[in-house]
Amino acid sequence: MFVNQFLFLAAVLFCIGVYGVVARKNAVLMLMSIELILNSVNINLLTFALRNGSTDGHVFALYIIAVAAAEVGVGLGLVLLVYRNKKTISVDDLSEMRG
Amino acid sequence: MKLFASESEVLAPLVSGWFLEHAWLIPVVPVIAFALIILFGKRLPMKGSELGVLSMLSSLVLAAGAGYQWIQRTNSATEEQFVEPVIKSWSWWRSGGFDFGIGQHIDGLSVLVLIVVAFISTLVQIYSLEYLRGDRRYTHFFAALTLFSGGMLAMVLADNMILFLLGWEVMGLCSFMLIGHWWEDDANSKAALKAFFTVRTGDAGLLVGITMLYFSANDWTQEHLGVSGFSIRGISAWALSGEPNSTVITISAVALFIACIGKSGQFPLHTWLPDAMAGPTPVSSLLHSSTMVVAGVYLVARLYPVFFVGLDILGSGGNLIMIIGAITIVISAALAFVQNDIKRVLAYSTVSQLGYMMLGLGAGAWLPAVFHIFTHAFFKACLFLGAGSISHSASHHSFDMKRDMGGLRKVMPITFITWVISTLALCGVFPFSGFFSKDEIIDNVGHNGYTNFMIIGLVGAFMTAAYMTRATYLTFFGEPRGASAGENSHDSHDSHDSHDAHATHDSHDSHDSPATHDSGGSHGPHESGLLITVPLMILSVLALSSGFLNATPFGESWERMKLWVEPRAVEVVGVTHSGGPGEALIITAPGAEESHSESVCGSATPESGICYAPQLKHAPFKWSKAILSMFIVFLGAALSWILSLLLFTKRDRRLVGLTQRVKVLGLGHKFLVNKYYLDVLYEKVIVRSIAYPIASAAYWFNQNILDGILHGLANSTKKLSGWVYRNIDQRVVDGTVNNSATFTKSVGTAAQPTQSGKVSQYGALLFSAAAVAALVLVIINT
Amino acid sequence: MIAQNIGFWIIAIVMIVAALRVVTTNNVVHAALWLVVVLAGAAAQYILLAAEFVAVTQVLVYIGAVMVLFLFGTMLTRARIGTESDLNNSYKKLGIPVGLVMFAAMSVALVSSFGDEKLPQTASVVSTQEISDQIFGPYLLPFWALSFVLLAAVVGAIVLARKD
């Protein structure tokens, strides 16, 4: 197995995730795209852990999973709050930050 | 090598003592007190203030003990012996192979600053007992004040950069809390934010510098000294070892110096300091004399070898530190002339004095600069507390010299006398402390070959004398005006309402208004209470006498500071004295010079050829030079006195309204009143342009922007031709500012579509910028 | 080795297709289910990379907990269970070139740095004990920090979602 086949898989997933973040309007779908990005990073970490024969990558992959869980929890909490106040979760309708 | 061995055998054992070994207790006490005040303060009989004062007192005792034992230690060493600093270090935390230590590094420099900080903090806390009596956040004030001192103390005795950074940041946080103590007032919370953000701008440099030093020094320090690359001792030795790459050390030194610029209010980041006057006066006093602003100077003095090598101190033609210091001296002294707020005059004078310290450090005058930290702390604290005393008891919490002061010398004799003593010290008049430090700096700058910078220093001394005379005249002489004349412009000033009422009245004099007035019913100006005057008197006695600790004019035996703070001089061929920043010095032995003749330290330690301090020279004292600078100071004071007399009392027709009549003067005046338009630059131009960065990247080809630029250019051309027509006119300045504003506005308008507030659009722009940047990186690297 | 390679490619293709469906489908619930496929595929890849424990954690945390959260989020915000045409915004067109440019940059970088370097053949599975030795040894501090992050997230999520 080549190092690159895993890295390329991660790169493809990352770019798809980026596309999702940019293109999606629904807040829940945006969060899902972010999960794709995080998973691609995990694949990279584990590939390098195997390549270098160290366990550091595993530790950080686990930390990322934990952080992702926290992020989804807070993110969905926010989405619920927004929905309750505005009856929509389309991020395009949230333009209070207009300059 | 044999010579080394025989040399080191004759060295006397250095004495140490309990206070030196346990100096780490000094910051620990206030930190514990902080926690206790926050937790239980409100339930205590004096609302937690007694804990603050007690903790500062015990820190002072510990620091004084350490100072005494340090003096014993230096005395126990032989004439030329290197006095080893008392270093203790423990492992604080470990992560992923990195070991972060915590510990103390006690040497002359840190002991000196510890004593000053603990002393001033104690007096300020005692003063605050009276000044803030009845304030609604009394307990929190004392908690923050105690932690503030604790942060500074921790920073001063830090043995490694991580602990140093911790103390530095704790101070930054506490300064934010203290400056914004009366945050109900919009101006105060804005000033607190401004101070915080401006200092943070510089702090980025500190992080960069520490990181760079760690990664470049760690291998060397582990190998030679067995300490990590965070250790201050290790970094100092590494910097002088000839090992470091010159680019790396230069960039690290510049990064660290940016942090000092932010913290010590040097040009161009000095703008936060005068605004920090929004805090209560005791805070200004503490902030400006011994903590916070001194931190930047202390960093330069502490890691002097890094700056010495990195910025080529003692090289020909000056360096970054000197240039920044010199600019700061002159521009802030000029600003002090146009201030009506007494605290702002003092603030700009602090900035200017810090410039002297930087100039001294940059010019290789390490000891005079450090000594100036010491003397400056006393007289500046005294001046600020004096200003607070005036506003507290005479001028109804106003700081406006022109409107609410004048003629106070009769009603406030103690404040007046202490003020005058400190002013004389600040101006550097002969037997007062400022003379022995400031004049030494100027003298040494000249001695090291920087004549131009010496002239700037003398100009600064002239200006200092002049603006302080103006302030003294306006405050204490002439006819009483406004509040100090007994006029009761503000009806109620009990409870906190007075403060709020003030805020609506005028933003200029609402910086400071303690909650209650001690006198209750009596509204006329009077002398302040003992809790205020006693600290004033103690400080003024020190302002008068502290200079004699290093009185160069009276010969070698009076130079105690050189003995205690600067390690023992080493006799090296061709150089009369060598000394160095607090760290260690170096035993020379015959033969050592030959192998190390090229190195900056000129000698090496016996054990491993490790050098901790650069070679520095001291200028011999000459009365002729001192008399010259005295003459300049008196000239400045006399000129300013006459002008003040004519302008403010006699209302001379030739002088009154001069700035309105003569355009050139008016222009200069306006320029100064607007603080060189630096705030405009930062807030209107830089911050705004950073607010639209993605915009300019994504819509680079946008027609509107091009139009905007053309529009701006056309405007400036128009204004420029207008300027040629009308010669020097006020509109030059206005025009420039308006133009930059117009330009910014047009850029902003053009970029407005990107500020849609839509998250996904921001995301798209962010990722496209990242993609483009990645592409650029790939293209460059292949 | 060949079996592993075949496994990798099958899973990789399934993952990529599923990931594309996640970002293109017009049904929120379907998107969540396609995401399950991607995450499960990632877990499988972790096993190929000799990371058993991480793979198991991935299944437990992501597929077990995070997906349930997503489905609840969809349900509570009353998204239509069914096709919805209005899920993409007007920057869709910008997304494609951005993604492609990024991918191009990464491909060039990956090819030039790793070329045809191979992973070690004889790698043994990293045991859970080794990972715990790392977490509770040198990386203890990040672990503590993470505990605080989780605590803050729990409190924050409750505060945000509470009705009052």
Of all residues in chain A, the one with the smallest CA distance to C11 is A9
Confidence check: pLDDT of B522 > 70: no
Mean pLDDT of B113-118: 90
* CB-count exposure of residue B570 (10 Å: 0-12, 13-18, 19+): buried
Rounded percentage of chain B residues whose pLDDT exceeds 70? 69
Task: Say if the Cβ atoms of A1 and C123 lie within 8 Å.
Answer: no
**DSSP code per residue over B450-480:** -HHHHHHHHHHHHHHHHHHHHHHHHHHSS--
Instruction: Answer whether A65 touches C (CB < 8 Å).
Output: yes
Instruction: Answer whether C61 touches A (CB < 8 Å).
Output: yes
DSSP code, position B42? G
Task: Say what the pLDDT of residue A98 is.
Answer: 58
Nearest to B782 among C97, C102, C112 (CB): C112
Of all residues in chain C, the one with the smallest CA distance to A2 is C118
Task: Say if the Cβ atoms of A69 and C66 lie within 8 Å.
Answer: yes
Confidence check: pLDDT of C121 > 70: yes
Measured between beta carbons, the chain C residues lying within 8 angstroms of B782 are 108, 112
Task: Say what the pLDDT of residue B462 is.
Answer: 85
- Rounded to whole angstroms, the Cα distance separating B250 from B273 reads 28
Task: Say if the Cβ atoms of C31 and A29 lie within 8 Å.
Answer: yes
Nearest to A2 among C54, C117, C160 (CB): C117
Asked whether the CA dihedral B744, B750, B752, B758 is positive or negative, the reply is: negative
Nearest to B376 by CA among B40, B3, B117, B684: B117
Cβ atoms of C22 and A33 within 8 Å: the answer is yes
In angstroms, the Cα distances linking B436 to A18, B284, B496, B531, B559 are 65, 25, 44, 30, 10
Task: Say what the pLDDT of residue B591 is.
Answer: 36
Mean pLDDT of C61-80: 82
For A2, the 3-state DSSP assignment is: strand
Mean pLDDT of B175-183: 84
Measured between beta carbons, the chain B residues lying within 8 angstroms of A25 are 760
Of all residues in chain B, the one with the smallest CA distance to A96 is B757
For chain C, the domains span: 1-84, 127-164
Measured between beta carbons, the chain B residues lying within 8 angstroms of C141 are 93-95
Task: Say if the Cβ atoms of A11 and C107 lie within 8 Å.
Answer: yes
Task: Say if the Cβ atoms of C77 and A79 lie within 8 Å.
Answer: yes
Cβ atoms of B610 and B221 within 8 Å: the answer is no
Confidence check: pLDDT of B339 > 60: yes
- Rounded to whole angstroms, the Cα distance separating B63 from B30 reads 13
A31, A92, A96, best to mutate vs chain B, most B CBs in 10 Å = A92
For chain B, the domains span: 317-488+525-549, 625-672, 674-720, 728-782
Instruction: Answer whether C94 touches B (CB < 8 Å).
Output: yes
Instruction: Answer whether C18 touches A (CB < 8 Å).
Output: no
Contacts 24+ apart (CB under 8 A), B671-678: B671/B733, B672/B334, B672/B335, B672/B337, B672/B338, B673/B338, B674/B733, B675/B271, B675/B274, B675/B335, B676/B331, B676/B335, B677/B733, B677/B736, B677/B737, B678/B268, B678/B271
- Rounded to whole angstroms, the Cα distance separating C6 from C13 reads 11
Two tokens, residue B475 = 């405050």
- Rounded to whole angstroms, the Cα distance separating B556 from B604 reads 25
Confidence check: pLDDT of B516 > 50: no
Predicted confidence (pLDDT) per residue in B287-328, tens digit: 887 788 888 889 988 888 888 888 877 777 778 888 888 888
- When computed from its CA atoms, the radius of gyration of chain C, rounded to whole angstroms, is 20
The least confident of B38-47, B448-457, B690-699 is B690-699
Measured between beta carbons, the chain A residues lying within 8 angstroms of B764 are 22
For B706, the 3-state DSSP assignment is: helix
Task: Say if the Cβ atoms of C141 and B94 lie within 8 Å.
Answer: yes
Task: Say if the Cβ atoms of B757 and A98 lie within 8 Å.
Answer: yes
Mean pLDDT of C48-61: 90
Chain B: touching chains (3 or more CB pairs < 8 Å): A, C
Mean pLDDT of B533-559: 78
Instruction: Answer whether C103 touches A (CB < 8 Å).
Output: yes
Task: Say what the pLDDT of residue B495 is.
Answer: 37
Mean pLDDT of B528-557: 78
Please list the residues that pair with B572 across neighbouring strands. Answer: B575
Measured between beta carbons, the chain C residues lying within 8 angstroms of B94 are 138, 140-141
* C40 — pLDDT class (breaks 50, 70, 90): very high
Task: Say what the pLDDT of residue A41 is.
Answer: 94
Predicted confidence (pLDDT) per residue in B118-167, tens digit: 988 888 888 888 787 777 788 888 888 899 999 999 999 888 888 899 99
Predicted confidence (pLDDT) per residue in B584-620, tens digit: 334 333 333 333 334 455 444 444 456 777 767 777 7
* B12 — pLDDT class (breaks 50, 70, 90): low
Nearest to C120 among A32, A53, A66 (CB): A53
Greatest alpha-carbon pair distance for chain B in Å reads 83
Task: Say if the Cβ atoms of B782 and C101 lie within 8 Å.
Answer: no
Cβ atoms of B27 and B167 within 8 Å: the answer is yes
Nearest to A17 by CA among C100, C93, C23, C34: C23
- Rounded to whole angstroms, the Cα distance separating B759 from A89 reads 12
Please report which helix (H) or strand (E) contains residue B177, including its range. helix B161-179
Instruction: Answer whether C164 touches A (CB < 8 Å).
Output: no
Mean pLDDT of B62-79: 82
- Rounded to whole angstroms, the Cα distance separating B561 from B371 reads 8
- Rounded to whole angstroms, the Cα distance separating B112 from B227 reads 25
Q: Which amino acid is at B321?
A: I
State the distance between the two ends of chain C, measured CA to CA, in whole angstroms: 58
* B1 — pLDDT class (breaks 50, 70, 90): very low
B 40-99: CB under 8 A from C: 93-97
Look over chain B and give the mean of its residue pLDDT values, rounded to a whole number: 74
Mean pLDDT of C20-41: 90
Nearest to C89 among B97, B760, B768 (CB): B760
Nearest to A58 among C45, C54, C120 (CB): C54
Confidence check: pLDDT of C69 > 50: yes
Confidence check: pLDDT of B514 > 60: no
Task: Say what the pLDDT of residue B181 is.
Answer: 83
Measured between beta carbons, the chain B residues lying within 8 angstroms of A36 are none
Cβ atoms of B496 and B397 within 8 Å: the answer is no
Return the top range by mean pLDDT from B76-90, B673-687, C4-18. Answer: C4-18
Of all residues in chain C, the one with the smallest CA distance to B770 is C102
- 3-state DSSP of B506-568: CCCCCCCCCCCCCCCCCCCCCCCCHHHHHHHHHHHHHHHHHHHHECHHHCHHHEHHHHHCCCC
Task: Say if the Cβ atoms of B692 and A99 lie within 8 Å.
Answer: yes
Measured between beta carbons, the chain B residues lying within 8 angstroms of A56 are 96
pLDDT by position in tens, chain A (length 99):
888 899 999 999 999 999 988 888 888 888 899 999 999 999 999 999 998 888 889 999 999 999 999 998 888 888 888 888 877 777 777 766 555
A 25-44: CB under 8 A from C: 25-26, 28-29, 31-33, 35-36, 39, 42-43
Q: Which CATH architecture has domain C1-84?
A: Up-down Bundle (1.20)
The least confident of B501-505, B619-623, B716-720 is B501-505
- Rounded to whole angstroms, the Cα distance separating B557 from A17 reads 75
Measured between beta carbons, the chain C residues lying within 8 angstroms of B772 are 101
Question: Which residues of B make CB contacts under 8 Å with A?
Answer: 96, 691-692, 752, 755-760, 763-764, 767
The better pLDDT of the pair B429, B493 is held by B429
Confidence check: pLDDT of B405 > 50: yes
A 61-80: CB under 8 A from B: none
Instruction: Answer whether A56 touches B (CB < 8 Å).
Output: yes
Nearest to A95 among B758, B764, B767 (CB): B758
Measured between beta carbons, the chain A residues lying within 8 angstroms of B97 are none
